[in-house]
Structure 1
Amino acid sequence: MNPLPPPAKAALSKLVASGRARNRAALDLANAIAADPQRYPELQEQAQAVLHPPLPDDDGPTEG
């Protein structure tokens, strides 16, 4: 496997960092919405989905 050239490695690092920042912002927003259910009643379901995402099925591979 060839190593990434420095510009590509730097771009990948920026992409990962921005994804983490977006995830953190989404969690912060969901926590704020969930903390004030009377103010944001229409957003409670979405906030709970962000804070408590459904677990993936862990039944193993399915046979088809």
Structure 2
Amino acid sequence: MRVHLDPGRCQGHGRCYDLAPDLFGEDDEGFGTVLGDGIVPPDQAQDARRAAANCPEHAIDLREGA
């Protein structure tokens, strides 16, 4: 699985990096960013799904496969 965050939809609520701090970070203005290459280790898949489900703008896409 790979995560992708659409910066055009992100409003900076911070739920992604609060719920999945190993997968998401924040930029200088508090908007979410994907850490690394976006590949989600199997043991963090639930965190990625939780972050995507809790994003108010639906700015996080989960893509199966690497």
| TM-score of the superposed pair, with normalisation by structure 2 | 0.30
**Bigger-Rg structure (1/2):** 1
| TM-score of the superposed pair, with normalisation by structure 1 | 0.30
Greater strand share, 1 or 2?
2
